[in-house]
Amino acid sequence: MYSYSRPTNQEIEHYLKQQSQQPFSCPDVGASRHLGDNSDKNLSSRYTIDHNRVLLGSGAKIFKLAKIALRNWEMFGLDWVELLWRETPIEVGSTVGIMVQQLGIWSLNPCRIIYVFEENGSTERFGFAYGTLPDHGLCGEERFVVEWCRSNDTVWYDLWAFSRPNQWLTRIFPWYVRRLQKRFGAGSLQAMKRAV
């Protein structure tokens, strides 16, 4: 959804409800599970792949705080991106909107959570991924993960994504879209660091 003014909360709620009934715009639903392993080579021929990673600290307490931060969408704690709505639970099927205001245009980009996971063992992980819906400017997925490597007691935040343009505006200005993606990646790392 594109607009020259910010939609009202009522308009946003109606729009996200409509979008929640739509299929994913990306044919590779769930493929973000394999980002970072050798099976992602097929994706890289069709999408741009981004990876951002930051050390959050060490120990069980930091890992617990990082999980809470992820559940509260703290990775969207940026002054130029608005997640709608921050109280949305991290569970399969939840739909959110990412609102961005750039160059005098408001864009509302809908996504739905595809999977949530929690792993125990020598490396503990918690995370989830959402996929883009038809009105999103991009086609792809984004995976948010926090992990605690017990072997060296470090806690990390990882942001993986694969995407390609999906709307006329993103096809016309791909260089600008890449700039925003890189800005979001760097900002998301800092937001998580602040949160823990």
Amino acid in the structure at residue 152: N
176 vs 7: which has the higher pLDDT: 7
Round the average pLDDT of the chain to a whole number and report it.
90
Q: Which residue ranges form the domains of the chain, and what is each CATH number?
A: 2-195 (3.30.530.20)
Q: What is the pLDDT of residues 70-111, one digit of tens each?
A: 999 999 999 999 999 999 999 999 999 999 987 788 889 999
pLDDT at 175 over 80: no
CA angle at 92 for the pair 189 and 66, rounded to the nearest 5°: 30
3-state DSSP helix/strand/coil percent for the chain, to nearest 5?
35, 40, 30
